[in-house]
Homo-oligomer: A and B are copies of this chain.
């Protein structure tokens, strides 16, 4: 039995535009070889920064590139945090960010995440107690939950950041991967002086962007991933009709809350005997919870694999429930 991994949020191998990247890499080495190979400026390769600034409609001195989004967060922590400083994240949130914040000695407080974004009342109560250095938010197709923040809540976040004087760190790597529905404004557009907007772009060369290859690649990704989202949603309907799941319109993730009395730990154990790997849910919650949380990254699996994986997941939940009851 082939093992199915609903574990890490990785892109599909078949999504990589390898031939175009070979062409772009060759061309950029030819025209900018020295700049690519020599030590460069800390903020990144200037022509790429200019391209990004134009694309995002911001001045170039507001753009910085890094070796990945976690490196940007690392730089932000080095710049802004001293041990004991307060940071808010959604709860659940991206586990690597939570780890990184803790490594810098931050006190990380989780604001409960709902299907339409952070619980604003909980945020206000937390702000009345203490104001964080920043609030780390993934507004679009959140990792791990799959939730997207509503326009109304985005405006409330912008207003609260202004009133209480804290920064919004908007991590938006999945924003372009909307498979249907209308996009909401970025936090950056609503509160430009209060927001650091981050997007992930690691694997893309300047030349590839300059050639206009990003928009068709996004379209290709949508065509590849939308059926996988649908397969996941209909698989959940078919095999786990009473499950509580997010129903995102894009991104990489759907999340699931298991029925009461069934733990992710028990289900993972059952799943492992059925050639199904699941990630632990606990790491996504900065201050407890997540015992019944399951993240389903659907993009790197084919619709057939997804269907089979969800069938095995339902069997594992059933077996864990029986074990619990008996």
Is A37 an interface position by the 8 A CB rule? yes
- Among B22, B37, B67, the residue within 8 A (CB) of A203 is B37
Contacts of A26 in B (CB 8 A): 22, 25-26
Distance A26 CA – B30 CA, assembled complex (angstroms): 13
Is A112 an interface position by the 8 A CB rule? no
Q: Is the CB of B38 within 8 A of A16?
A: yes
User: A111 → chain B, closest Cβ, in Å?
Assistant: 28
**Which label, helix, strand, loop or mixed, suits the secondary structure of the A interface?**
helix
Name which of A10, A34, A78 has the most chain B CB atoms within 10 A of its CB.
Answer: A34
Distance A78 CA – B74 CA, assembled complex (angstroms): 13
Q: Is the CB of A16 within 8 A of B39?
A: no
Contacts of A29 in B (CB 8 A): 18, 21-22, 25
Contacts of A11 in B (CB 8 A): 38
Chain B residue at smallest Cβ distance from A37: B16
Contacts of A8 in B (CB 8 A): 39
* Per-position binary interface string of chain A over residues 18-35, scored 1 when its CB falls under 8 Å from any chain B CB and 0 otherwise: 100110011001100110
6 pairs of residues in contact across A and B, judged by CB atoms under 8 Å: A10-B38, A16-B34, A22-B25, A22-B26, A25-B26, A25-B29
